[in-house]
Structure 1
Amino acid sequence: MLNNKKSLTKSSYNLTTISILTTLMLGCGGSNDPQTPVSEEPQLEVSVSEASKVRTAIEGLNLVGDPSLGRTLPDINSPKAQLGMKLFFTKGLGGDFDSACVTCHHPVLGGGDDLSLSVGVDADTPDLLGPGRLHNTSGTHFDGGPTVPRNAPSTFNLAMWDKYLFHDGRVESLGATAGRSGDDGLGIRTPDSPFGQADPNAGTTLAIAQARFPVTSPEEMKSFTNFNGLNNTQVRSNLEQRIGDYGNPLGGLLPLNRWLAEFQIGFDNAQGSAEELVTFANITDAIADYENSQVFVNTPWKAFVEGDDEALSLEAKRGAQLFYNSVEKGGANCASCHSGDFFTDEDFHVVAIPQIGRGKGNGPSGNDDFGRFRETGLDIDKYAFRTPTLLNTAATGPWGHDGAYTSLIEVIKHHLNPQQAVDNYDYSQIAPNVQAFDMLKNTQLALDQLAANRTAGIVSLEEVSLSETQINDLAEFLKALTDPCVENRACLGKWIPDASDSNPDTMRVNAIDENGNFL
């Protein structure tokens, strides 16, 4: 995040021309700014002028500043969202009782885990989240590095996604339209269904559909012990019986179980039985309400769009012009892909972020990640990843589908000149245990794909030259896309259980950082 817990980086892989902003850049003003303004009045006049230029740049884009408008979203204080929060924080949903949804998605860590790549199951200290979380030496497939092959996306503003979830879009609304998240009558495709075909068990929203899958990933929550060898349906069946305290699930029932009363309250059915209420469909429904309640859109940019010319700093106003203006007009054309009030076209682009980590099993050594190609099988989709939203991006690093950038400046350089950035990649920005043996080889293939796409006329990231001052201005604009709540522990407290909340199975993650402080 933008506080002392974040080094700022999460490379949002983006898009065309310089979309150099795939992430949020932390800057400190332009080096050409006057050291001492002559008076307050001239400075104010300059600011007003710059505000007018920004409004000219966004004219005709129909921006309202708030992507949540027109959506029906749950309140964190609703009974179902409260139930979802408790489920989100319990290790009872982990196959081996050592991981939870929050393990990789804690609100204080930007709705992610502040790591380039996550460690789900088999951690040294299950309740230690973020930097310092390590794979236990006795854990399955131990190699010293993180176990999950992709960066944990933030859960913040999850409800704003209309088309795709996951970096490769493997949860997909088949009839999505702008401003409407869900199946739109055509259904939602998931990894449980063939490409292009709706999953009849996906539920009615992308959040519900997505919540069905972390528990089925061996590295994230399923583990390699209790549920080893089970298919997705069997895993979910065992979990609903475990939480519901019925049947004979593998791994046994919880030592203490007061979940039925929680489900009766959450689903407003005081007489409902465990078999009726504690189903996996209801588990994911409640978790989705919790996630979809994480709406953080009250940014300085929103205030500016709504009419407050002074909501942005002078530097941010100059950065906004770079963001929205085309290259021909002296800008960077970032908005061509980071478009709309949610700052994403919800499409897939090859940006060639350095490939680190274990990979997804692709390539000769199995440590490459072919991105969207894994879903579509189309050559043009090889190494393409979903355009990230830029809302709160300063607080949701590291950046990139694999968190390869933990330095804002390095991310900017990458988008300015991907080939040069990869050739000069600074390995010291990632934790020393992160796997990067074949990084150059695998990433060069992505760079070659980017070049081929450009030659074929496919909308792609372009190289744009920016000065140091322009980079800082752009960074200041991106900082203005952050809701102050996501950097305020007290404000985030509504989404984090405290000692006064019931703990239905005594298996809640009491998250600590590497220094032993509670998050």
Structure 2
Amino acid sequence: MNTAVYGSALLALFILSGCGGESRTASDESLDTKLREKISGFGVKGDPSLNRDIPSIEDAKTQLGKKLFYTKALSLDFDTACVSCHHPLLGGGDDLSFPIGSEAMDPNLLGPGRMHQDTGKSYFDGGPTVPRNAPSTFNAALFDVGMFWDNRVESKTGAAGANGGLATNILMPGHSDYERVESVVNNLPSTQALFPITSAEEMRAFGHADLSNGDAVRLYLAKRLSGADGNRDLSESEREAWLQAFRTGLNAPDANASELITIENIAEAIGEYERSQLFVNTPWKAYVEGDSTAISEKAKQGALLFYSGYEEGGANCVQCHSGDFFTDEALHVMAVPQIGRGKNHDGSTEDYGRANITLQDADKYKFRTAPLLNVSSTGPWGHSGAFTSLRNVVKHMLNPDESTQNYNPYSELKQRGIDVQCQDVETNTAHALAQLVINRQKGISPHQSVAFSEEQIDQIVAFLETLSDPCVEDRNCLSPWIAHPDDPDFLLLRQLNATFQRF
């Protein structure tokens, strides 16, 4: 992860401007004029949270969601929590190319160093079992179209500012990815929260054949917390603690456990916790709102490349990374190198992306445009976590044709055990690149591969680094979103880093 603290950078800029703020040159002013004209044309305002309902981390329901996000009681084997793959101090992810969910060697160790147990079972190959990179939970309240890399949880309308809206406006997988049913909870983050607990690789674990589908797993876990139907997985004190937590969180002091502790309430509370993780106070926001000293000249040059079209000699990044959230939330083929186990219906190591949902060949290798807020703190990058350097993923997006030719997973990747899942990278990536070429020829994809100088690439990276809120690199600033296992009744995950220190 990038450990630069942008608050310090901003302070330095303010000091420098205080010593010679009046000495801004005509060249500086000309660059600002060009850039402000450019971003004005794209309707950029700086603050993507405008006109949105964002819960506070101090809200009672959000605090309930925080406990649920950190508890191991929502994994069938009591070895995983949502936070296992989405820790605030790891960019809202896990700083791994692929997550290690259930059956980790040390369930409490998060981030680099986390490895899967050698179970000797057929599903274990020495590497991670989850086939895609863990998206950050940061700014989950800003999504309006869909969640997951393939938008398999999606709004029917994509209404701006609605975060998906009511349950009846959201589609989600039924008993398979391609079966589409209406959600049972409001908003996209809450609907998303229904799924990790049902995934064998993430939280369900690989046993429990008696729970035949996702609905059965969800019902069982709700009964575990409530004690309904005689479920005694938890002790009496643990069940009582959860009842009181739900009564407080849902403002229902007299309700009983069966009424309150439902999968719907569990998912909506987790969703509120995720939605409270709003981190948008970036140097770029300050610049857009009028402070011309908030970012460097290098970053401004990068921003101009970002917002300029190909015909202007720009990178045309804004074509997909649009708006103040820096994503169109649409699905595109970008031929990010395909490593890992893959995700498909044919048992290969390919990941067919959106085609797993639609079963349409035209959707093969399509993945959602990643938002760029806090991008320097949320790597590795790409649906497969194929890039561990922000600069390298920028180079890939500018010129996938060249990047895929030069890609070497054995030098790029850092995760232990992942080397055994790279044997098909050239073949699989070539298929995705071929699809990108076809899409260009048919006018489906606006992307062009363009050669940029090293200096221009540095400028774009400098701009992207201004899109991070300093809070996401500040332990004290993030502390309201971090739970500590000081109450044994909630079975909260102890959070250790690679050196076995507490987060």
Q: Same fold (TM over 0.5)?
A: yes
The 3-state SS of whatever aligns with 2:220 is: helix
Q: Would you say the 8 A contact 2:354–2:363 is kept in 1?
A: yes
2: distance between equivalents of 1:207 and 1:227? 28
* Structure 2 residue 306 is the aligned partner of structure 1 residue 323: yes
Counterpart in the other structure of 2:434 = 448
What residue number does 2:233 align with?
252
Aligned match of 2:14: none
1:343-362 correspondence to structure 2 within 5 Å: 343-362=326-345
Task: Provide the residue aligned with 2:38 in structure 1.
Answer: 57
1:504 equivalent in structure 2:
489
Alignment CA distance shift 1:72-1:183 (3 Å)? closer
Secondary structure of 2:61's match? helix
The answer (yes or no) to whether the contact 1:96–1:226 under 8 Å persists in 2 is no
Question: Match for 2:47: what amino acid?
Answer: D
Task: Measure, in 2, the Cα distance between the counterparts of 1:440 and 1:378.
Answer: 23
| Per-residue deviation, 1:311 | 1.1
Tell me which residue corresponds to 1:416.
398
1:459 and 2:445 aligned: yes
Equivalent of 2:417 in 413, 421, 433: 433
SS at structure 2 position matched to 1:199: strand
The 1:362–1:201 alpha-carbon spacing in structure 2 relative to 1, beyond 3 Å, is closer
Aligned length: 482
Q: Is residue 227 of structure 2 the alignment partner of residue 241 of structure 1?
A: no
Query: Partner residue of 1:214?
Result: 196
CA distance in 1, matches of 2:306, 2:412: 26
SS in 2 for 1:99: coil
Alpha-carbon shift at residue 422 of structure 1 (Å): 1.7
The one of 204, 220, 225 aligned to 2:207: 225
Residue 60 of structure 1, CA deviation? 2.4
The TM-score, its normalising length taken from structure 1, stands at: 0.89
1:120 corresponds to: 101
2:172 to 190, 193, 200: 190
Q: Does the 8 Å CA contact 2:166/2:185 hold for their aligned counterparts?
A: no
The reply on whether 1:300 has 2:286 as its aligned counterpart is no
Give the RMSD, CA atoms, in angstroms: 2.1
Distance 1:494-1:44 versus aligned 2 partners, 3 A rule:
farther
Instruction: Report the AA paired with residue 515 of structure 1.
Output: T
Q: Which position in structure 1 is the counterpart of 2:73?
A: 92
For the structure 1 residues 118 and 447, does the alpha-carbon distance in structure 2 shift closer, same or farther, using more than 3 Å as the test?
Answer: same
**Cα distance in 1 for residues equivalent to 2:337 and 2:457:** 21
CA distance in 1, matches of 2:221, 2:4: 37
Q: 1:76 aligns with which of 48, 52, 57?
A: 57
Contact kept, 8 Å, 1:349 with 1:460, in 2: the verdict is: no
| CA gap 1:310/1:177 in 2 versus in 1, 3 angstroms | same
Distance 1:334 1:454 in 2: 16
Contact 1:116–1:403, Cα closer than 8 Å, also in 2: yes
Shift in Å at residue 402 of structure 1?
Answer: 1.0
Matched residue, 1:154: 136
- Distance in 1 (CA, whole Å) between partners of 2:282 and 2:42 is 18
Deviations, residues 40-82 of structure 1 (Å, cap 9, x unaligned): 8655543333211110111222221111110111110011100
Q: What displacement does 1:420 show?
A: 2.5
* CA displacement at 1:410 relative to structure 2: 2.3
Structure with a larger share of its residues in helix = 2
Task: Measure the CA separation in 2 of the matches of 1:426 and 1:194.
Answer: 34
Residue in 1 that maps onto 2:89: 108
Equivalent residue letter for 1:310: T
* Corresponding letter in the other structure for 2:245: E
Alignment deviations for residues 288-320 of structure 1 (CA, whole Å, 9 cap, x no partner): 110000000001111111111111111111111
1:26-37 matches, within 5 Å, as none
2:254 to 271, 295, 308: 271
Give distance in 2, aligned partners of 1:42 and 1:52.
17
Tell me, what secondary structure is at the counterpart of 1:50?
A: helix
Tell me, yes or no, if structure 1 residue 174 matches structure 2 residue 160: no
Alignment of 1:282-297 (within 5 A): 282-297=265-280
Per the alignment, do residues 80 and 502 of structure 1 end up closer, same or farther by CA in structure 2, a change over 3 Å counting?
farther
Which residue matches 2:501?
Answer: 517
Counterpart pick for 2:454 among 463, 468, 471: 468
1:4 deviation in Å? 8.0
Q: Deviations over 1:398-441 (max 9, x none)?
A: 00001011122322332233233222212222135211111111
Counterpart Cα distance in 2 of 1:317 and 1:241: 54
Establish whether residue 380 from structure 1 lines up as the match of residue 362 from structure 2.
yes
1:428-473 per-residue CA deviation (whole Å, 9 max, x = no partner) reads: 2213521111111111110110111111111242111211111111
- Paired amino acid for 2:464: L
Q: Does 1:394 align with 2:376?
A: yes
Instruction: Identify the range of structure 1 (202-211 vs 254-263) with the bigger mean alpha-carbon deviation.
Output: 254-263
Which consecutive residues of structure 1, in runs of 5 or more, have no partner in the other structure? 6-38
Q: Helix, strand or coil for the counterpart of 1:3? A: coil
Structure 1 equivalent of residue 2 of structure 2? 2
- Contact residue 415 and residue 461 of structure 1 kept, 8 A: no
Query: SS where residue 190 of structure 1 aligns?
Result: strand
Structure 2, gaps ≥5 residues long: 6-19
**Aligned twin of 1:27:** none
Superposed displacement of residue 518, structure 1: 1.2
2:353 is matched with 371
Q: Which moved more, 1:474-483 or 1:58-67?
A: 58-67
Q: Tell me how far apart the structure 2 counterparts of residues 361 and 213 of structure 1 sit (CA, whole Å).
A: 17
Tell me how far 1:194 sits from its aligned partner.
Answer: 8.3
How many Å apart are 1:389 and its aligned residue? Answer: 0.3
- Deviation of residue 3 (structure 1)? 1.2
d(CA) in 2 for partners of 1:409 and 1:225? 41
Residues 245 and 254 of structure 1 are in contact (CA less than 8 Å); yes or no, is this contact kept in structure 2? no
- The 1:193/1:358 distance shift into structure 2, 3 A limit, reads closer
With the length of structure 2 as denominator, give the TM-score of the two structures.
0.91
Of 275, 292, 296, the match for 1:309: 292
Q: Which has the higher contact order (CA 8 A, sep 6+)?
A: 1
Identify which range, 45-54 or 179-188, moves more after superposition.
179-188
Query: 1:494, 1:176 → 2: CA distance?
Result: 30
> Structure 1 residues 125 and 479 mapped into 2: Cα distance closer, same or farther (>3 Å)?
same
- Counterpart CA distance in 2 for 1:248 and 1:234 is 16
